[in-house]
Amino acid sequence: MVPHKPGTPQLMKQMNRAMVIDILTKIGPISQTYICELTGLSRATVSTIVSELRKEELILEVDRLSSKSGRRRVLLELNAEAGYVIGIDLGGTKMAGAVTNLRGKVILRLKESTNAKAGPEAVFESLVQFIKRLITESKVEHRKVKGVGIGVPGIVVNKGTVQWAPALNWKDFPLANELKRYLDFPVYVENDVNLQALGEYWYGSGQGVDVLVCLAIGTGLGAGIIINGQLFTGTHQAAGEVCNMVANISQLGKNYPGFGFLESQASGNALATRFADICPSAPDNIDAEYVFERARNGDSQAVAVIDDFTRHLALAIVGIATVLDPGLIVLGGGVAQGADLFLSQLEAYASPVLQVMPRLVTTQLGAEAGVMGAVALTLHNTNEDPLRSITS
């Protein structure tokens, strides 16, 4: 398709159509009159769009209400079963996926091994088969699949190229283009933490929040940023890389293994490493959950390690709040499951330093945040396209 120039009638028509679909996705049942009020579009424009959507079976007439004039007003809603999308959170160990309708209602959830130990090619092959399995087991008609969104633990550039994902051994891998060789629907790829933020914004703790940050504390440390409903990724796709923050000037001018100084102090790996350093009797291969368990059982060394972790995590909260002034910071990732041991102290460390302390909460979606963010990414791009006709 030849791209439309800004301001052309075709582009305006697409934008108006996407606006109406967005309203129908969020609100319904709804009358054409109310759609006009919410969008600012003329009655003729809305009527034309609604007529097109009816022909494509993308909207349903669900009820009629009497108006003051005595005329019967038709109420419309999006035909949620007119299409389906797939969301996948591709982790270093496991991949989780879901199939949903056009309103984000989950039809099927699945999990499977990523097979990363077998090499980068095996990961890709596993992903292709996983997508096909989701379609087969959901019993969704293939022609109704509108797209797939995939969250990757790494840097994503150039519309779906994975610049670097250490956990998957992918470097400069054109994931979206490679998948298009096997799939006949659109593919959208994004950083997994960014998708966690989208998931929280659309389906979790962040609903209705204009400026939202999801701080993912897991093996590493990163943040996804939502501003007015849109992902903010920065000029070089590096916005939210709080792992690189430092505590004082003595850390400047140095290289840090992995992804940065703060990640070496405020992540799941940091908790486990620090505890192992001060407690020689700790077993091999401990994780953050082990440290949390010891703290809950009254281990003073574990409590001290968590306090040090919390102080460093507070640096991220202060930095985020100072620059972005978010209404809400959602703590996600596996380490957030131990937030009962550090959340109140985290607020106590950060709040006195700030002019305005954002609300801190733990994730509502848990491990599903990335999957639902991938769903949201796909739905947004599908509507923005706008929705393709089922018969096309």
The answer to whether residue 158 sits within a structural domain is: yes
- The predicted pLDDT at position 2 comes to 41
CATH number at residue 96: 3.30.420.40
Omega within 30 of 0 (cis) for the link into 29? yes
Are 176 and 163 in contact by the 8 Å Cβ rule? The answer is no
The answer to whether residue 308 sits within a structural domain is: yes
Q: How far apart are the C-alpha atoms of 324 and 130, rounded to whole Å?
A: 38
346 and 213 in a common domain: yes
Among 380, 328, 332, CA closest to 102 = 380
The answer to whether residue 39 sits within a structural domain is: yes
What token pair was written down for 214? Answer: 């999801």
Q: How far apart are the C-alpha atoms of 2 and 5, rounded to whole Å?
A: 9
Q: How far apart are the C-alpha atoms of 202 and 199, rounded to whole Å?
A: 5
Rg (CA), the chain: 23
Which pTM value belongs to this model?
A: 0.85
108-127 pLDDT per residue, tens: 999 999 988 899 999 999 99
- The predicted pLDDT at position 379 comes to 87
Residue at a domain's end among 78, 107, 124? 78
272 and 251 in a common domain: yes
325 and 221 in a common domain: yes
Q: Which residues of the chain have pLDDT under 70?
A: 1-7, 64-72, 383-392
The answer to whether residue 4 sits within a structural domain is: no
- The predicted pLDDT at position 324 comes to 97
Among left, alpha and beta (phi > 0; psi -120 to 50; other), residue 367 is alpha
86 and 121 in a common domain: yes
- The predicted pLDDT at position 5 comes to 47
Backbone angles phi, psi at 381, to 5 degrees: -70, -35
The answer to whether residue 1 sits within a structural domain is: no
Are 374 and 149 in contact by the 8 Å Cβ rule? The answer is yes
231 and 191 in a common domain: no
- The predicted pLDDT at position 385 comes to 46
CB atoms < 10 A from the CB of 184, how many? 8
Residue type for 25, please? T
The answer to whether residue 335 sits within a structural domain is: yes
108 and 172 in a common domain: yes
Question: At CA 247, angle to CA 273 and CA 206, rounded to 5?
Answer: 80
The answer to whether residue 131 sits within a structural domain is: yes
Tally of domains within the chain: 3
- The predicted pLDDT at position 62 comes to 83
What is the widest separation between alpha-carbon atoms in the chain?
Answer: 81
The answer to whether residue 293 sits within a structural domain is: yes
Q: How far apart are the C-alpha atoms of 330 and 269, rounded to whole Å?
A: 20
Residue count (the chain): 392
Q: How far apart are the C-alpha atoms of 331 and 363, rounded to whole Å?
A: 6
Residue 116's domain comprises 82-197+370-384
